[in-house]
Structure 1
Amino acid sequence: MDFDTSADPAAEFLAREQDQLAGIGDDIIPPSTQPAAPAPAAVPTPTPAPRVEPEKIRRWREEQRQRLEEKDAEEERKKDEWRESAKKELEDWYKQHEESVSKTRAANREAALAAEKELVSGDNKSTEAAADWEQIAKLCEFNPKVNRNTKDTSRMRSLILQLKQSPPVKSN
C-alpha cells in the first residue's frame, strides 16, 4: 500500500516502516511445531510513579470522613437516648402493671371473703332447689360491664338466671 508522501511527513514515515516490515510474518513457525525455548529473562518493568491526588479531592475526602464520623457519633448518641427512654418506659409499664395486678388481686380477695361470709351466714337450712340456685346466683356477677377483659360468660349468666327463676324438679 503506497501513501502520498509529498504532502505529509507522517505518511512518509508510515510508508517506509511498512516497506521494512513487509516480509517479517513469513518466517514465523506456528506455536505447535515450535521447539521449546527457554523463557526469556525477566525484564524489570518500571513501576509507575505514584499518582498525586489533587488538593481539592484530598480536602473533600477529609471533609467527608469528618462528616461521616460526626454522623456516626450522633447516631450512637441517639441510640443511647432511645435505649434509656425505652428502659424507663418499660420500667414504668411494669410498675403500673404490678400495681394493677395487685389491686385486682386485693379486690378479688375481698369479694371472695365477702361472698364466703355471706354464704356462711346465709340461710343454709332450706333444701329447696330454688334456694340453691338463688345462692349460686348471689355468687355470680350479673353486670356485664364490670370486667371487660375476661371471657364472655353471658350464656352461663342467662342459664343461672333461668335456673334461679324456674329450678329443675328433683325426682326421687
Structure 2
Amino acid sequence: MADNGVHPTEEDPAAAFLAQQESEIAGIENDGEGRFRGRACHSEWGHESNGPTDSYAAIAQVDIQRQEPESLRKWREEQKTRLEALDLASKTAEAEWKEKAKRELEDWHVHQSEQMEKNKANNRASEEAFLAETDGESPGSEWERVARLCDFNPKTNKTAKDVSRMRSVLISLKQTPLVR
C-alpha cells in the first residue's frame, strides 16, 4: 500500500487545528450549529471524504454553512432600518434647507428691489437739484459751484485715492481766480 503521508495512528495537526477553530467559532456564534461541518475527514482506508454522500444532505449542509448567525441577521436588519431612518431624516432636512434658501432668496430680491428704488429716487432728486443749480448761471459764481461739488474735508473717505494736490489747486484757484 502507498504511503500518502497520513497514518491512522498519528494525529493530523491540520485536522486538530480545524477542529479547534470549529469549536471556537461554534462558541462565538452561540447558535449551536457548527459552520464547518463536513470538512475533509479521514476514513479508516486513508481516503478523504467531503462529508455526506447523499446529494440532498450535501445541499442542506451548504445552506447551513451559508446561513448567517442570528446575531448578524438581527444586526443587518437593525442597521437597515436605522439607515432608512437616517436617509428619511436627511431628505426632510434637505427639503427644509431648500425651502429656507428659497424664502431667503425671495426676501433678498425684495430687499434689493426696494433699495434700488430708493437709490433711483435719491439720484433723481440729486440730479434735479444739480440741474436747478446749474441753470442759474451768474458770472463769478463758477468757483462756488465747483466748490460745492468737491469735498474739501480730508478725513471723509479713507478708501479713496489721494486727491490732496487737486484739492490744493482748486482752493488756490478759488482764492485767486485767473484773469482773462
Per the normalisation by structure 2, the TM-score is: 0.55
Aligned with residue 130 of structure 2, among 96, 99, 115: 115
Which has the larger Rg? 1
Aligned with residue 133 of structure 1, among 143, 153, 163: 143
Task: Pick 1 or 2: higher relative contact order, CA cutoff 8 A, min separation 6.
Answer: 1
Runs of 4+ off more than 3 Å: 139-146, 159-163
Q: Please tell me whether the aligned partners of residues 133 and 164 of structure 1 are also in contact (alpha carbons under 8 angstroms).
A: yes
* Distance in 1 of aligned mates of 2:123 and 2:78: 67
Residues 1:133 and 1:79: Cα distance change in structure 2 (over 3 Å): same
Letter in 2 for 1:134: E
Partner of 2:98: 83
Structure 2, unaligned stretches of length 5 or more? 1-7, 12-57
* Distance in 1 of aligned mates of 2:116 and 2:175: 36
* Distance in 1 of aligned mates of 2:127 and 2:85: 62
Residue 89 (structure 1) shift: 0.9
Residues 1:141 and 1:87: Cα distance change in structure 2 (over 3 Å): farther
3-state SS in 2 of match to 1:10: coil
C-alpha RMSD over aligned residues: 3.3
3-state SS in 2 of match to 1:53: coil
Residue 142 (structure 1) shift: 5.6
Residue 116 (structure 1) shift: 0.6
* Distance in 2 of aligned mates of 1:108 and 1:145: 24
Residue 141 (structure 1) shift: 5.3
* Distance in 2 of aligned mates of 1:154 and 1:134: 22
Partner of 1:165: 175
